[in-house]
Amino acid sequence: MESLNLIGRKSLVTGGASGIGKAAAAMFVSLGASVVIADLDRDSADRAAADTGATGAVAGDVSNPVDAARIVDSAVAQMGGLDAVFHCAGIHRLGAAMEQDIETWQHVMDVNVRGTQLICSLAAKHMHPQGGGAMVVVTSIAGYNGQPRRSAYGTSKAAVAYLARCFATEWGQFGIRVNAIAPGYVLTPMAKSIIDSGATDANRIIGRTPLGRLAEPAEIARTAAFLLSDWASYITGAELFVDGGWAAYGGSAEVNTF
């Protein structure tokens, strides 16, 4: 079999102006894909497209139905079709459940869950008549086990994991594969802002991570490239943890003290 590649794949990367999405856009281009980057702010999306060698960019809010349709339509128009979606746009908010502002909770649900529903279902409508395609959405270790102060974020990511399984079972008959990546802590602006705010202690995370470090964005991007490529041709409905072993560990102290 050929080496892993994305040659000729017309690929939409949402949240592609920053962090994991931007790293993925660059990696997909290096593997031969055409890429359109979607993000909230047009200038940031354009800059990321220039930095990564992407074909183009489009601005919009993935949770807004009009914007989501414009994002998908624009990607199709700029590339002449759509074969692959890496839906990476997402937000994180921390808040004690008893004090949780319900508007903030709803905002997290809207961006993370409604945005996934909109982008993936709109993309599937383009992929269905062309005979198939592949999508990858991003969940989190926070959607897997209970974590304090994440009643919004963790719930939203558990829902995104469900959506990936639901879409995979509904669209398999159309040749559309849908998988999820559940990252651990990845060194992106999102994770850095949580660590810098003091809400999370990086050394304690590292201490309970079997591989003993945080992830680089490129490590998540590589996994997305694999799941979107033909190397993953029989994988659908999976949630692949890319977390250095974080979710596998259930001990009561730092992992490497045993």
CB nearer to ligand NAI: pick between 193 and 233: 193
CB nearer to ligand NAI: pick between 183 and 244: 183
CB nearer to ligand NAI: pick between 70 and 128: 70
**List 9, 10, 92, 150, residue binding ligand NAI (CB under 6 A):** 92
Residues 43-62 that bind ligand NAI (CB under 6 A): 61-62
Query: Is 140 among the residues that bind ligand NAI (CB under 6 A)?
Result: yes
The one catalytic residue in 144, 153, 185, 249 is 153
220: closest CA among 68, 41, 88?
88
Binding mask 18-37 for ligand NAI (x = CB under 6 A): xxxx----------------
Structural tokens at position 99: 């004090």
The residues with which 35 forms a beta bridge, in sequence order, are: 11
Q: Name the segment binding ligand NAI (CB under 6 A); options: 13-21, 98-106, 123-131, 224-232.
A: 13-21
Work out how close the CB of 77 gets to ligand NAI at its nearest, in angstroms, rounded to a whole number.
18
Residues 100-139 that bind ligand NAI (CB under 6 A): 111, 115, 138
107: closest CA among 91, 87, 129?
91
Residues 170-229 that bind ligand NAI (CB under 6 A): 183, 185-186, 188-191
Work out how close the CB of 188 gets to ligand NAI at its nearest, in angstroms, rounded to a whole number.
3
Work out how close the CB of 186 gets to ligand NAI at its nearest, in angstroms, rounded to a whole number.
4
Work out how close the CB of 65 gets to ligand NAI at its nearest, in angstroms, rounded to a whole number.
12
**List 91, 202, 218, 247, residue binding ligand NAI (CB under 6 A):** 91
Structural tokens at position 2: 């050929």
153 classed as catalytic: yes
Binding site for ligand NAI (CB under 6 A): 14-15, 17-21, 39-40, 61-63, 88-92, 111, 115, 138, 140, 183, 185-186, 188-191
Active-site positions read 153
